[in-house]
Amino acid sequence: MTLVKAKRHFKPFLTALAVLGLLFSGPFVKGEDTSPANTGKPTLAEFLPGKRVVMPVPIPEGQEPPPGINMQLLLQFERNGSVTVGVVINGKAMQPPFGKKRVLTYKVDKQSVTILKNGKADGGVVFATANPKKGDKVTLTEKGVEKKFTLKIVSVSKASPLKDAPALSPFGPGPKKAPELKK
């Protein structure tokens, strides 16, 4: 076989080897690590602590939102591993009266967040990305309920203290115990 015939015969083989070399050499040939932890962008577990995520209040099918009130759901992921559930009513971030009594924590696994009540799974949040932002989709789940709510994030901001909801808000204190009648 002459050199010219050999080149013609092996040309497709060499082209395939070159393509495979480009595909598999990637950044690892240079020693770079492109895992999520080393791309410069934080993982969800690194991103969430100290953040407040606001989304529309999930309204079950067939129900109407309260009239005259612009209300949104707020999840505040604290740096200590707790999560605060609150509301934004007419632009003001508030914590319902029962919010201080409920101690919820959270655990992140990839893009899923499990909300824990007394250390047991009570619901969850699934983010579309590891670095959520306005307009991204988020799915809320609740323990024991098959219905899931997929909502769009309204805002993501730095966590800050929540005000207590006023007594006349939709989350004001329940009615006082009725006085007992004397017989």
What's the pLDDT at 144? 82
**Would residue 130 be called left, alpha or beta, if left means φ above 0 and alpha means ψ between -120 and 50 degrees?**
alpha
In whole angstroms, how far apart are CA 62 and each of 28, 78, 102? 54, 34, 29
Burial 131-151 (b: 16+ CB within 10 A, else e): ebeeebebebbeeeeeeebeb
CA angle, 42 then 43 then 46, to 5°? 75
**Beta-sheet pairing, 71-77 with 82-89:** antiparallel
**Would residue 89 be called left, alpha or beta, if left means φ above 0 and alpha means ψ between -120 and 50 degrees?**
beta
- Tokens 């005000």 belong to 163
Digit-by-digit pLDDT tens for the chain (183 residues) are: 554 444 444 333 333 323 223 222 233 333 334 445 556 789 999 999 999 999 998 887 788 877 777 889 999 999 999 999 999 988 899 987 765 567 899 999 999 999 999 899 999 999 999 999 999 999 999 888 888 899 999 999 999 998 887 765 554 444 444 455 555
The pTM is what? 0.68
Up-side HSE of residue 124: CA atoms within 13 Å toward CB? 18
**Would residue 73 be called left, alpha or beta, if left means φ above 0 and alpha means ψ between -120 and 50 degrees?**
beta
Q: Are 55 and 151 in contact (CB under 8 A)?
A: yes
C-alpha to C-alpha distance for 63 and 61, rounded to whole angstroms: 6
